[in-house]
A and B are shown apart, each in its own frame.
Chain A
Amino acid sequence: MKSTLLAGALLAFAAATCAHAQAIKLADVAELSGGGATVGTNWKNGIDLAIEEINAKGGVLGRKLEVSHADSQSNPGVARAQVQKALDAEPYVLLGPGYSGSVKVTAPLAAEAGIAQIMGGEAAELTQGGNKFLFRTSFGQQSSMPKVAKYIHDEMKAKTVAVVWVNNDFGRGGRDVVIKELDRLGSKVIADLSTEAGQADFAADVGKIKAANPDAVFVYLNEEESARILKELKRQGVTAPLMGETTLIGQKVIDLAGDAANGARGHVGLTTDAPVDLIKAFREKFSKKYNYVPDHNGLKGYLAVYMVKATTEKMGKVDSKAFADTLHGLTIKAADEPGILMDVTFSETGDIDRQSFLVEVVEGKQVVKQVLPKVK
């Protein structure tokens, strides 16, 4: 009797160990609390949704996916400690963080461990340091700004442009790329205005724009400041068309700026309002599971997991060391892997090329006006 029990226990233990060994372990470090809680929670929910779907269909190469979530508290220092802890458990791939500052301090750790890191940061510099293990889920500024400059030059037909930017890493990075591109295309930057993060009063800045009388204004500020400058532009009667990025035409900005946001246009890499059937289906599934409409960070988390799936299936094996090499230069087609939502190509630096959207605010709502094709 005793020996039967012992054999049973051993069998159960062996089965459990075997199942555990078969699962592919992913580690996620995200902004689950603090200032970036909205970003991190959307990202995490996107990951969970993708894993649930993949596991329900039998997993990746017959193995289930497992993920551990850790909270960076929106703090780069905490993110670094959490990433180190996650890497100690030797995950297959590291997911997150979402904030560029947190990615900047954690990327060297993942690279040193030889683990691929799929993250949400958008600052241009992240993929310019030669890190062979870092991958984006959305456009970096060096990918989005050329599209913005091209739109200002070709579609808005602007010969003169005023560029307003926030004086931090994010703003300066975007400003440098867009000015270079506008210059290359032949649109002249006649006002180059830096503003401060948290600035409340934009009367003087808008006064300068008004005096310069440009054909178009490019606004690259954080959300609250975007809302303030939109109000001030309306107050001072500036009629030049306004162009920006996600931070100019996001729903939060529209809520804050009210009527003043109408007519503003922006380039958006990912939006759940995109006229793409697979994205519409994602939005529906996500909303049904979590009872709210996701933002683009939900899409990023979801895509990150499908990047893992597509790359692993391409390799035909689970090999964390070969993962990064395989993903470099890889094109994943939505026809082959619907979870990737849109055709995407990864460059040698870990940047992505994908179609994107030109959105205009019409009566307080984002309306996708144009689908901008992949650059290459």
Chain B
Amino acid sequence: MSNLFDLLVAGLATGAIYALVAVGFTLLWQTSQTINFAQGEFVMLPAFLMLAAMHAGAPFWLAIILGILLSMVLLGLAFKMLLVDPMMRHGVLPLAIATMALAIGIKEAVKQFFSAEASPFPSIVPTGDISILGHAVSLQSIGVLVLAILAVFGLTALLNRTSLGHQMQAAAQNPTVARIIGVPVERMILLTFLINAFLVALASLLITPIYLAKFSSGEVLGQAAFIAAIVGGFNQVRGAIAGGLLIGVLDNLAASYVSTQYRAAVPLIFLILVILFRPQGLLGRAEERTV
């Protein structure tokens, strides 16, 4: 029982990070029909930007701020202007393939500049245990979970409770009508790219102390988040959150109760079942777009 509790906490902590990345998937899809196959590499890169800042002499807190800002410029602004905008007119598939090329490019560039070996990365959350319901739970797991949930709640509040959020939803649901009623659609789309960049930078900050900073670490994350987004519902932020948490927990339970060798297969089998029986995802709605 104690083991199950530990597994659930660890699974939720990992799942919360998957959720952050998966939310980015859905945001980009909703506003610009971009399926970003470089999303995993987007999580890997900010850690290296922060490491570069630290190597240059910046303290950790400053490196975090610089890393997040640089990520928003590179993975938000530059990504949209230099890759998505020129490719969007050619359709969804060429754009998706362009993001695959981008993923390879980012990985190779990081390998070239930082080496193929893993590097350690400091943790923003202190190590140690706290007692919850008589169980010793690691502070790091709780910290990751809390930060990720705060980010997701913040985003949901932004989308549902503010004028800006309503404008973003309008731009996603019907850009033509949104333009007619005065919503700056282009600016709203750019904003979703910047939000995605912020989310992946945050995910990077939280996951890298556990996974280590390595050029290839985005592969696992990108795949897990993509599965989470589809399982939860590609057209719903709340679906991506639920999908992320579910995949995180499922992965940990499968590794523990099924077999470590087949742990990677279990979420994929679950994905196939969802596609077969509920193609819009667990919380998604067929033929509808909202953010």
Complex contact B120–A258 (CB within 8 A): yes
Complex contact B7–A207 (CB within 8 A): yes
Q: Count of A-B contacts with CB under 8 A?
A: 87
Complex contact A203–B14 (CB within 8 A): yes
Segment at the B interface, from A12-20, A234-242, A332-340, A365-373: A234-242
A201 to B252, CA, bound (A): 9
A208 to B261, CA, bound (A): 15
The distance from the CB of A31 to the nearest CB of chain B, in whole angstroms, is: 14
A231 within 8 A of B: yes
Complex contact A204–B129 (CB within 8 A): no
Segment at the B interface, from A82-90, A171-179, A191-199: A191-199
Known A196-B261, A204-B10, A227-B212; contact A234-B127, beta-carbon cutoff 8 A:
yes
Known A235-B138, A236-B6, A237-B138; contact A204-B261, beta-carbon cutoff 8 A:
no
- Residues of chain B within 8 A of A224, CB atoms compared: 117-118, 212, 214
Complex contact A207–B256 (CB within 8 A): yes
Complex contact A228–B210 (CB within 8 A): yes
A91 to B216, CA, bound (A): 41
Known A210-B3, A236-B138; contact A227-B10, beta-carbon cutoff 8 A:
no
- Residues of chain A within 8 A of B209, CB atoms compared: 231
A66 to B211, CA, bound (A): 46
Complex contact A196–B260 (CB within 8 A): yes
B119 within 8 A of A: yes
Interface 0/1 of A182-195, CB less than 8 Å to B: 00000000000111
A259 to B122, CA, bound (A): 11
Residue of A nearest to B217 (CB): A200
A319 within 8 A of B: no
A238 to B3, CA, bound (A): 13
Known A200-B220, A207-B7, A235-B140; contact A35-B212, beta-carbon cutoff 8 A:
no
- Residues of chain A within 8 A of B10, CB atoms compared: 203-204, 207, 236
- Residues of chain A within 8 A of B2, CB atoms compared: 211
Complex contact B119–A200 (CB within 8 A): no
A180 within 8 A of B: no
- Residues of chain B within 8 A of A237, CB atoms compared: 129, 136, 138
Count of residues in B whose CB is under 8 Å from the partner chain: 35
B251 within 8 A of A: yes
Residue of B nearest to A193 (CB): B260
A195 to B261, CA, bound (A): 7
Selected from A35, A204, A236, the residue in CB contact (under 8 A) with B116 is: A35
Among B3, B6, B252, B256, max chain A CB count under 10 A is at: B6
B11 within 8 A of A: yes
A258 to B209, CA, bound (A): 11
Known A227-B118, A256-B120, A257-B120; contact A200-B211, beta-carbon cutoff 8 A:
yes
Q: Which of B197-212 contact A (CB under 8 A)?
A: 209-212
Residue of B nearest to A38 (CB): B117
A167 within 8 A of B: yes
Selected from A35, A193, A198, A201, the residue in CB contact (under 8 A) with B14 is: A201
The distance from the CB of B75 to the nearest CB of chain A, in whole angstroms, is: 21
- Residues of chain B within 8 A of A196, CB atoms compared: 260-261, 264
A232 to B220, CA, bound (A): 18
The distance from the CB of B158 to the nearest CB of chain A, in whole angstroms, is: 30
A321 within 8 A of B: no
Q: Which of B1-38 contact A (CB under 8 A)?
A: 2-3, 6-7, 10-11, 14
The distance from the CB of A263 to the nearest CB of chain B, in whole angstroms, is: 14
Interface 0/1 of B221-245, CB less than 8 Å to A: 0000000000000000000000000
A252 within 8 A of B: yes
A231 to B261, CA, bound (A): 21
The distance from the CB of B234 to the nearest CB of chain A, in whole angstroms, is: 24
Selected from B3, B127, B212, the residue in CB contact (under 8 A) with A211 is: B3
B263 within 8 A of A: yes
Of all A-B residue pairs in the complex, the 6 with the closest CB atoms, nearest first, are: A204-B255, A203-B10, A211-B3, A204-B256, A200-B211, A235-B138
- Contact residues of A with B, CB < 8 Å? 35, 167, 193-196, 198-201, 203-205, 207-208, 210-211, 224, 227-228, 231-232, 234-237, 252, 255-259
Can you list 7 pairs linking A and B with CB atoms under 8 Å apart? A198-B216, A204-B260, A224-B118, A224-B214, A227-B118, A232-B210, A235-B141
